[in-house]
Amino acid sequence: MRVGFIGLGSQGGPMARRIAEGGFETTLWARRPASLEPYADTPAKTAATPAELGANSDLVCLCVVGDDDVREVLYGESGVLAGLAEGGIIAIHSTVHPDTCREIAEKSAAQGVSVIDAPVSGGGPAVEQGTLLVMVGGDEEVAQRCRPVFATYADPIVHLGPLGSGQNTKILNNLLFSANLGAAVSTLELGESLGIPRQKLVEVLNRGSATSKAVASISMFGGTLEGLAPIAGALLQKDVRHAASLAASAEAAEGAVFTAADAALEAMDHRR
């Protein structure tokens, strides 16, 4: 299988490297030529446009930031769909709204191209260890065809159901992570009111039964969200908004998880 990869950031870059070094014929594209320079030591080729990348690929993996970024690289005269042949597959690793995946799938089906959603969790270190989590939604047979590629950087690879299921799951994951951040910050503020130094309390929480990935993230920045906000604030804001949209569509009450998530967003100055 020939693989095209777009989105060479802190998450996608290591994924693309693992694919290229895993023996798959790989083509890369980036808006800025400088983004391609770190991969000069890999077997990967480069394309001048997303359409050219699509023409040289059987599977195109996207790991760009958001919904509009996905649309931008897929649509138009120079987009991936302009080059991808019938029978091709698009895997959306970006975290986007499930409706975006369904929109893309409908447009792609008109030219015989399949779409799966495959958002990821774990970050660059997990990619390098081959333990990235991939949450897959879409046709199971298509997902199975992609599995050998995903296996170059991921374990586990979980198929969750029809198209959009992977995005639903990733959005819920990020909603709960945001809520955990909000609960942790609230706890640290209460601790300060009781005379417990914030850095001491976060050290204890990070080693005790109350620990979580959120607590670990906060502890890296001295017990506050100030250092995390520039890295994750806007992304978590996007995902909490998507979660709210999903809850509204399902006519489900938002509940306490949204209250805690909103507290984290407010602390990072990224209100919903």
Residues annotated as catalytic are: 170
Other Cβ atoms within 10 Å of 166 Cβ, number: 30
Q: Which residues contact 34 (CB under 8 A, 6 or more apart)?
A: none
Amino acid at 49: T
Burial class (CB in 10 A: 0-12, 13-18, 19+), 97: buried
Q: What residues are paired with 89 via a beta bridge? A: 59, 114
Q: Which residues contact 158 (CB under 8 A, 6 or more apart)?
A: 133, 134, 135, 136
Strand, coil or helix: 172: helix
Which has the closest alpha carbon to 239: 97, 124, 104, 93? 97
Rg (CA), the chain: 20
Residue with tokens 């959009």: 164
CB 62 within 8 A of CB 9: no
Backbone angles phi, psi at 182, to 5 degrees: -60, -40
Amino acid at 130: G
Strands 26-29 and 45-46: parallel
